[in-house]
Amino acid sequence: MERRNSGRIRSKALSGFHVYLDSDVQIQGQLIDISETGLQFAITTINETDAVLEATAYTGFFIGSLIDDEVHFDSRILWLRKEGNTLLVGIEFFEPIELPSTVLALKMSEAE
């Protein structure tokens, strides 16, 4: 369980970040938190929630106002949780990713 404890970054600034997963239909949502080993995001478009399957492998990327380039990853869905009209999705990366320095800086600013 060491991977689950890697430093999660959860910041209001992440609300400007979006996650995209490639499948038969592109799935997109808003980033909630992230670490080098995974992320959590929210899908609010109801017709896309049917396309998301737990334990399925996906390639994807995230992008946001604080970074210049898309950050790509290969992953699998660990869990799904419905909250009202929103589907929360927990993703585990197959290999740890290097987070952009501007994203890492959010963790430092939240600690202050």
Helix (H) or strand (E) holding 18: strand 17-22
pLDDT score of 6: 59
DSSP per residue, 57-80: EEEEEEEETT-SS-EEEEEEEEEE
pLDDT score of 5: 46
Phi and psi at 101, nearest 5°, equal: -60, -35
Domain residue extents for the chain:
2-111
pLDDT score of 2: 41
Mean pLDDT of all residues in 70-88 = 92
Fold adopted by 2-111: Thrombin, subunit H (2.40.10)
Mean pLDDT of all residues in 64-82 = 93
pLDDT score of 59: 93
pTM over 0.75: yes
What's the chain's Rg over C-alpha atoms?
13
